Structure 1
Amino acid sequence: MSVNIRNPIGVIVDSFGVGVKEGLKKAKEVGAEGVQIYAVSGEMDPANLNAAARRELKAYIDSLGLEISALCGDLGGHGFQDKSVNVEKVEKSKRILDLALDLGTTIVTTHIGIVPEDRDGEVFAVMQEACRELNEYASSMKAYFAIETGPETAAHLKGFLDTLGGRGVSVNFDPANMVMVTGDDPAEGVRLLKDYVVHTHVKDGIRRKVVDPRMVYGALGYEPMDHAKIAEMVSTGQFFRELPLGEGNVDFDRYFTALKEIGYNGYLTIEREVGDQPETDIRKAVQFIKSYR
């Protein structure tokens, strides 16, 4: 390979579809060094984990020789576009970050909604207000809310982040989302967002047709896409298709080179959202990344 990397490898536990504890065991079995876990509802909802339960879970993760690369705190809907629900969503996001810190990570990944083109519009201002509050909270704890790339180009996302006054709201870089939805170049995106990249996904895919990002991610005043519809869109492959690593249009030589150039030494976390054999695909993905070592 043309680039040599030493980044630790992570896996999204939920990709296995077997629950948190079994998923943690699977992550260890496939050769991951860290894990990302959804922490929005169910057993990982911060409200359902008291101090003792958090200590027990952290001890269990430690016993497997794993660490948490990040928690996923994506609250769905339109992110932070809707002012009427933002107080509740911002508060929930803060509680997820508190949980992350208790479990030994400083990163919560999330979607904030599509950043509008109109900087003078109400939705831009509403999103900016919410993200500034999140930025302030995260910064006070030397932690990060990391926005997942995909709904907009890297340049447009950077323009928004630059208005927040800090790095408490940063970036979870997903190259496949860019390739599949916006058609943006992941390597150049990494370079543009170099000051903000705190976590990454390793995922692959192809784009078949130009698609309005609102069809994928939803937007205020536009029909939202729920997870079932997104899964259907991905599985049919009408507009784009997620594929196992190395089978899509993400140029991993260039992507990994760009991450190395900006000095990123954090996790490369494998995400597999579709497919009938997630464990098999994840095992192959771990080996794919290791081939660059």
Structure 2
Amino acid sequence: MVKLNNPIGVITDSFRLPVREALVKAKEVGADGVQIYAVSGEMDPANLSAAARKELKDYIDSLGLQVSALVGDLGGHGFQDKEANPAKIEKSKRIMDLAFDLGTHIVTTHIGLVPHEQNYIFDEMQKSCEELSLYANSLGGHFAIETGPETAAHLKSFLDTLTGKGVAVNFDPANMVMVTGDDPVQGIITLKDYVVHTHVKDGVKLREVDPRDVYGMLGYEPMTHEKIAEMATSGPFAELPLGEGKVDFDAYFRAIADIGYTGYLTIEREVGDSPEVDIHKAVQFIKRYK
């Protein structure tokens, strides 16, 4: 069995608790760090003054935790809509600024399904991501696209059109298994030059599904977070506790070691009646590889 030295993270929203309560739970289950949603409410960058940011970072530090990344997913169609994009780009930049204030250089997001043909949607996504890549490059940070809507090879072909590595990858093996059927082991090798953060999640694909029906697309009805969670329990795929799905973690973690990835393995649990129990088990599952 491969031996990993990667730190273990938890998405605070997975506990379904207020941020500070979730931070305490993350510490209790044995995590090294946390990933925090930063798009609305108390974590909206517009609602956090410089003093509030310092106080929050000090509190996280006092728990012995780090921030592995922020979640900056603004929903809808990602960056496919020309009219919505200027405001989304501006807010994404502010979330990147907040990330640095909280001690991380990574913001993860969904940008929308990348079309296979170079049409107006592709062009708009490319234009928006280029601007965000340049901004992230200027900070020495990363705006990281979560894998899932498209195959690793197709995502890499899109990333290769951008300047630098400012727009990078948040690799989620379960999304690949559940939606496209792409192999996460080969996928992380394909995207190795872009991977800056990962999610640790498991699942199974129950039937073929059009990725547009999961992630939405301009001209399609956008999927809400709640609808995606519902689909994960009654739809074409199922998210499952670690080790119970179709992600081959022995091979996947070996590939992580082989590509030299030393960043966070961040647990995400979007379904289930006992998230704290599932997350604690997930931490223990990962620790088997340490």
TM range (shorter): over 0.9
Per-residue Cα deviation, 1:144-194 (whole angstroms, up to 9, x for no partner):
000000000000000000000210000000000000000000010000000
Q: 2:254 — aligned with what?
A: 257
Q: 2:208 — aligned with what?
A: 210
Unmatched 5+ residue regions in structure 1?
none
CA distance in 2, matches of 1:259, 1:113: 25
Secondary structure at the aligned position of 2:289 is classed as coil
Per-residue Cα deviation, 1:197-251 (whole angstroms, up to 9, x for no partner):
0000000000010100011100001122122221221121x30000000000000
Secondary structure at the aligned position of 2:31 is classed as coil
CA distance in 1, matches of 2:208, 2:251: 23
Q: TM-score, normalised by structure 2?
A: 0.99
Q: 1:46 — aligned with what?
A: 45
CA distance in 2, matches of 1:146, 1:229: 23
| Residue pairs, 1:125-204, within 5 angstroms | 125-204=123-202
CA distance in 1, matches of 2:47, 2:83: 25
Secondary structure at the aligned position of 1:32 is classed as coil
The residue type paired with residue 185 of structure 2 is A
Q: 1:112 — aligned with what?
A: 111
Q: 1:91 — aligned with what?
A: 90
The residue type paired with residue 95 of structure 1 is R
Secondary structure at the aligned position of 1:84 is classed as coil
Q: 2:217 — aligned with what?
A: 219
| Residue pairs, 1:235-254, within 5 angstroms | 235-236=233-234, 238-254=235-251
Q: 2:228 — aligned with what?
A: 230
Q: 2:267 — aligned with what?
A: 270
Question: Where in structure 1 do 4 or more consecutive aligned residues deviate above 4 Å?
Answer: none
CA distance in 1, matches of 2:282, 2:194: 25
Q: TM-score, normalised by structure 1?
A: 0.98
CA distance in 2, matches of 1:266, 1:201: 11
CA RMSD in angstroms, aligned pairs only: 0.6
Q: 1:279 — aligned with what?
A: 276
* Equivalences, count: 290
Q: 1:103 — aligned with what?
A: 102
The residue type paired with residue 60 of structure 1 is Y
CA distance in 1, matches of 2:133, 2:227: 31
Unmatched 5+ residue regions in structure 2?
none
The residue type paired with residue 238 of structure 2 is R
CA distance in 1, matches of 2:49, 2:182: 42
| Residue pairs, 1:54-73, within 5 angstroms | 54-73=53-72
CA distance in 1, matches of 2:135, 2:221: 31
